[in-house]
Amino acid sequence: MTPLLSRIRFRLRNDFQLGIITVFGAIGVLAILPFSLLRFAQGNALAGSVDLAVACTITGAALYAWITGKLERAGLLISVCNLLGSVLVELLLGKTGLYWLYVALLANFFLINRRAAVPLAFLGIVLAQMVPGAFESAVQRASVITTQLLVALFAYLFAHRTAIQHAMLETLASQDPLTGARNRRAMEQELAVAIAANQRRPRSLALLLLDLDHFKQINDRYGHDMGDQVLRRFVALIQSHTRACDRLFRYGGEEFVLLLENTDAAGVATVFANLRACVHAELRVQNAPVTVSAGAALLAPGESREAWLARADAALYRAKQAGRDRLELAPSPAASA
């Protein structure tokens, strides 16, 4: 498979909304365009033009989504086009437009945020009622309104449920189940994002690698459950003594990474001094104090995630060698070269 094809496959697999937009782009070409040609062949140029405009807009919006990545905007364009197109077809061809409105009502809840899809659904249902001569009787009109409302309601419930499950999956995929800190996978992604953002707008970005001292002894002496409890309390302590914008990750075992934005060497030293003090004061195992060592590194220009982490790790190693319960700051790569 060519790199382009595998990239397309990857994006379609990992982005549900882009997948739906793509399906619509294909519908624009494969399903609506033939109708447009049929209308022209039947001599109904107006209906043919409406179908052609809808097909082009939907397919254009799908291409726009692929090229720019602006899915919300593309989804909204397709949603509005679906609704207005259905109502216009109803105006020109009668009931046929109503059938398309059902598709639009259903699809819009997957194309755009469900809170935006609700008013659009109501707008579509109301507009569909205003088309003169589209209904043969009051009963038929009532049936159409009821079934359209039900379709919108079920689509809303399904989209709502999907959004909840999506959020749950995201949490499961990014959170360490024991401590609730973000996991290593999330760390790798967020460090990459922070590095990319820093290349565009450089500012001081610090990484603090924290490691509980002699943690093996805690497990050995007091049992694994006590070790787990210490890890949970350690994370809770860090989270309650750092800023909301500071990001904590479990790097593995008893090692944690704290990503500190807009923080220089003096700032890292202050953060660590505070954490060290609160660990001394509040983290005890059967009255024995627990201590923590740390290695810190400030991101150097052009530095990779791996190199940045390696410098913090080397600094942590030095902190351990120097007697633990302390912070070591990594020299910049230029200084150590």
Ligand X SMILES: Nc1nc2c(ncn2[C@@H]2O[C@H](COP(=O)(O)OP(=O)(O)OP(=O)(O)O)[C@@H](O)[C@H]2O)c(=O)[nH]1
Which residue number, 202 or 253, has a Cβ lying nearer to ligand X? 253
Strand ranges inside 133-240, DSSP E: 205-212
Nearest-CB residue for ligand X: 227
Which residue number, 163 or 322, has a Cβ lying nearer to ligand X? 322
Which residue number, 152 or 309, has a Cβ lying nearer to ligand X? 309
Around Cβ 71, how many Cβ atoms within 10 Å?
A: 20
| 213 binding ligand X? (CB under 6 A) | yes
- From first CA to last CA, the distance across the chain in angstroms is 42
Which residue number, 168 or 178, has a Cβ lying nearer to ligand X? 178
Distance of CA 182 to the CA centre of its chain: 14
| 234 binding ligand X? (CB under 6 A) | no
Cβ burial of 128 (10 Å; 0-12, 13-18, 19+) is buried
| Interatomic CA distance for residues 337 and 333, integer angstroms | 6
| 289 binding ligand X? (CB under 6 A) | no
Its sign, for the CA torsion 331, 332, 333, 337, is negative
| 219 binding ligand X? (CB under 6 A) | yes
Which residue number, 142 or 322, has a Cβ lying nearer to ligand X? 322
| 224 binding ligand X? (CB under 6 A) | yes
Residue 215 phi/psi, 5-degree rounding, is -65, -30
- CB-based contact 32:54 (threshold 8 Å): yes
| 322 binding ligand X? (CB under 6 A) | no
| 85 binding ligand X? (CB under 6 A) | no
- CB-based contact 266:199 (threshold 8 Å): no
Which residue number, 90 or 213, has a Cβ lying nearer to ligand X? 213
| 312 binding ligand X? (CB under 6 A) | no
What is the b/e burial string over 201-235, where b = at least 16 CB atoms within 10 angstroms of the residue's CB? eeebbbbbbbbbbebeebbeeeeeeebeebbebbb
Residue closest to 99 by CA, chosen among 128, 120, 137, 133: 128
| Interatomic CA distance for residues 93 and 99, integer angstroms | 11
Among 214, 221, 243, 284, binds ligand X (CB under 6 A): 214
The stretch near ligand X (CB under 6 A) out of 4-12, 13-21, 29-37, 221-229 is 221-229
Pairing of strands 247-252, 327-329: unpaired
| 231 binding ligand X? (CB under 6 A) | yes
The stretch near ligand X (CB under 6 A) out of 67-75, 165-173, 222-230, 303-311 is 222-230
Which residue number, 35 or 251, has a Cβ lying nearer to ligand X? 251
Binding to ligand X (CB under 6 A) within 163-192 occurs at 178
| 153 binding ligand X? (CB under 6 A) | no
Among 69, 253, 289, 301, binds ligand X (CB under 6 A): 253
| 227 binding ligand X? (CB under 6 A) | yes
Write out the residues near ligand X by the rule CB under 6 A: 178, 211-216, 219, 224, 227-228, 231, 253-254, 320, 324
